Amino acid sequence: MTVRELFDLSGRAAIVTGGGRGLGRQMADALAELGADIVLCSRNLERCQQSAAELAELGARTLALRCDVRQPGDAEAVVDSTIDQFGRVDVLVNDAGTTWGAPAEETPLQGWQKVIDVNLTGLFLMTQAVARRMIAQGGGGAIVNIASVSGLRGSPPGTLDAVAYSASKGGVITLTRDLAWKWAPHGIRVNAIAPGWFPSDMSRVLLERVGDQLLAQIPLRRFGGPDDLKGAIAYLASPASAFVTGHTLVVDGGQSA
């Protein structure tokens, strides 16, 4: 196969949770540009519908759905709708996420549970629902979990006080490795991307407060931009990474070096 053929996703269906905005939308754009049919889902249906319409104008076949990844029934419904619309599911990008900011000693149980329920349990429920269908249809597939550099190491207090977020992303990285073993016999590859600092609705307040401190820790001296995750998701979602599973690809400007 040529390099262009290795990255071609024509005729494949991809689900992107949290795909209506931010990093999820950036990755959905990349998959659509490679020819994939795109399913965008999140709790905000209107935002997904708007993004789906914009992708459709570029020639992609799209579907927008409401989904709370914490609910097993919602996860199953998204997969059912994807197969009804496109006949199969080949790629899952788990981008839906949330955070809770507070010093570790003051983080309430409510905040801890909210973050773990979405970022780790919800990710597992969505992954499980998709993997069941991938196993049933045969032919394998690609699952890409969105972790974070926060899941690779600790952070000093006052810079990033979001212990539940860091713990959840560390869990995502370990879950990715284990599921890679579990589903390799079915041809399902499970990898992760660990982004560094990207401006987004979730990170905006923190970047405004301590952005200069964070920037000083990034060797490339800039935050992630609107195209910086496209190559990573293109690689891990496509046959270009056919011999890669259980890997976490760090995209952080050198922050974790």
Per residue of the chain (257 residues), give pLDDT as tens.
999 999 999 999 999 999 999 999 999 999 999 999 999 999 999 999 999 999 999 899 999 999 999 999 999 999 999 999 999 999 999 999 999 999 999 999 999 999 999 999 999 999 999 999 999 999 999 999 999 999 999 988 878 899 999 999 999 999 999 999 999 999 999 999 999 999 887 777 888 888 888 899 999 999 999 999 999 999 999 999 999 999 999 999 999 99
Check 165, 183, 198, 223 and give the catalytic one: 165
Supply φ then ψ for residue 65, to 5 degrees: -140, 150
Residues near 228 by Cβ (< 8 Å), separated by ≥ 6?
198, 251
Write the Ramachandran bin of 136: left for phi over 0, alpha for psi from -120 to 50, otherwise beta.
alpha
How high is the pLDDT of residue 177? Answer: 98
How high is the pLDDT of residue 58? Answer: 86
How high is the pLDDT of residue 208? Answer: 82
Amino acid type, 47: R
| CA 245 to chain CA mean position, Å | 15
Query: For residues 249 and 257, what is the distance between their CA atoms, to the nearest angstrom?
Result: 13
* DSSP strands (E only) in the chain: 13-17, 37-42, 62-66, 91-94, 141-146, 188-195, 248-251
* Residue extents of the structural domains in the chain: 3-251
How high is the pLDDT of residue 159? Answer: 80
How high is the pLDDT of residue 207? Answer: 84
Query: For residues 45 and 42, what is the distance between their CA atoms, to the nearest angstrom?
Result: 6
Which architecture characterizes domain 3-251 according to CATH? 3-Layer(aba) Sandwich (3.40)
Quick check: is 235 catalytic? Answer: no
Query: Can you name the residues that pair with 248 across neighbouring β-strands?
Result: 192
Residue with structure tokens 């006080």?
A: 161
How high is the pLDDT of residue 202? Answer: 75
Name the residue among 226, 138, 225, 222 with its Cα closest to residue 187. Answer: 138
